[in-house]
Amino acid sequence: MKPTDFSKSLTDFLVSYLPGEKGASKNTIISYKDTFILFLTFLKDRKGISADQLYLKHISKEIVLDFLNWIEEERKCCIATRNVRLAAIHSFFQYLQYQKPEDLFLWQSILSIPVKKTIKDTINYLSLEGVKLLLEQPNQSSSHGRRDLALLSLMYDSGARVQEMIDLTPSMVRLEPPYTVKLIGKGRKARIVPLLDIQLNFLKNYMCENGLLEAFANQYPLFSNSKKEKLTRAGMNYILTKYVKLAREKNLALIPERLSCHSLRHSKAMHLLQSGVNLVYIRDILGHSSIQVTEIYARTDSQQKREAIEKAYTDVRPEREPSWLANDNLLEWLKSFSK
């Protein structure tokens, strides 16, 4: 069977353009692939168009909108998920603008579909006391507990994203002064983050115990499961959730009800901000693309807002009660007023 123009374009987009020209991460490519699996499923089940019969001419703005509505209404996905799927479709048709410009009007009509606005959640983060309580939970008498303590300490200390933690290898950690860790973030952008001596002790002991200081282990996963494989996102969340539950049993007030691995990154950012660290340095530590992204922490920090208000506050209340209010004899007070 002869391949269709859609199958050829999609294959080139996923296999060549995204990793080669765009430099997209593995996770981005997987997310885009999953979007088109869903799209093909929708077209077969709802429109009667099978994958081997799908041509680019079959795709229109109306069909894409029907697909997005199907995601929301039938699959019960949230608006954020809908927007992720739309981003993948937008990226594909941006690519087609330059590959097949003869249908530019059609591609641009699909690109005109806007993302839906969502209600932005407040940033969940831990206080310093909350972080301390969380890090007290791993059982340091077990190898898994020592691994988990090293992992959680490093994730907080470096402000790393989950995938950045998963991709770490021993070669990316510098254990001599100045202590640093190299993180590979979005778009394969690398950054060097300084580490504190206190937190580094947990990591150094863990690496020594597991033979990760040896030269042959340089490219091993820094944190692995019982099969010596990279931890997955689900595995990372499982580890955090286990200790969050234990910490909440100790002190409910210190641990928010909703807490994810990303919350440790938020916590580090907030603590740096509250310590007076410049937003530019926080941006570089977190690997944000611009200072505008980092400014969300300044807008979130209610403590900093309160301190700013207190510094600018002028007390307009009377300093003391007028003397005549405390004088039962108003006439006597009036007589003595001008003396």
DSSP at 66: H
- Of residues 338 and 23, more confidently modeled: 23
Residue 188 is among the residues annotated as catalytic for this protein: no
Residue 8 is among the residues annotated as catalytic for this protein: no
Residue 297 is among the residues annotated as catalytic for this protein: yes
What's the pLDDT at 197?
A: 81
pLDDT tens digit sequence for 73-101: 999 998 989 999 999 999 999 999 999 99
pLDDT tens digit sequence for 218-277: 999 999 998 889 999 999 999 999 999 999 999 999 998 889 999 999 999 999 988 888
Residue 161 is among the residues annotated as catalytic for this protein: yes
- Residue 322: pLDDT band (50, 70, 90) is low
Residue in 85, 147, 161, 266 annotated catalytic: 161
What's the pLDDT at 307?
A: 57
Q: How far apart are CA 191 and CA 64, in angstroms?
A: 38
What's the pLDDT at 328?
A: 57
Q: Nearest-CA neighbor of 180 among 169, 190, 172, 188?
A: 172
Residue 262 is among the residues annotated as catalytic for this protein: yes
Overall pTM > 0.75: no
**Residues in Cβ contact with 284 at an 8 Å cutoff, skipping those fewer than 6 apart:** 191
What's the pLDDT at 141?
A: 95
Residue 265 is among the residues annotated as catalytic for this protein: yes
- Of residues 317 and 31, more confidently modeled: 31
- H-assigned helices in the chain: 5-12, 26-47, 61-73, 79-99, 104-111, 128-135, 143-158, 162-166, 197-209, 233-250, 261-274, 279-286, 291-300, 302-312, 330-337
**Mean per-residue pLDDT of the chain:** 88
Q: Is the pLDDT of residue 29 over 70?
A: yes
Residue in 125, 156, 179, 297 annotated catalytic: 297
What's the pLDDT at 293?
A: 75
Residue in 33, 174, 186, 191 annotated catalytic: 186
Domains of the chain: 5-111 (1.10.150), 128-308 (1.10.443.10)
